[in-house]
Amino acid sequence: MNDIFKDMQAKVGCENISDLPSYKRKVWHEMKQLNFADYEEKQLEDFSKYVFGMSCQTLKDVMKQQKGREEQCRKQGCWWKRAEQLAKKQHHTGSTCR
């Protein structure tokens, strides 16, 4: 079995494992592409609680929910419409924030 702590440290590019909670956004992105079967359930649970402060099952549920939304948006084309709307708004206002 692999070590999720070391794998995420390498994927995220942080110097120490103790820095992982500071890289939540990058860790989240990597976890969405992760094969959970490569890791022991206890280690996944420990990792989830250490980095995100919640159970691994909660993270899996959120990922599943987000994946469903992303697929629905892609099918309906709203994913691209949203990007176009933001680009127009930024052009008109000069703003770079949402």
pLDDT tens digits for 7-58?
999 999 999 999 999 999 999 989 988 899 999 999 999 999 999 999 999 9
pLDDT at 95 over 60: no
Provide the pLDDT for residue 21: 95
What would the two tokens of residue 78 be?
A: 């709203």
Which H or E element spans position 48? helix 41-51
Provide the pLDDT for residue 87: 67
**Rounded distance, CA 22 to CA 19, Å?**
6
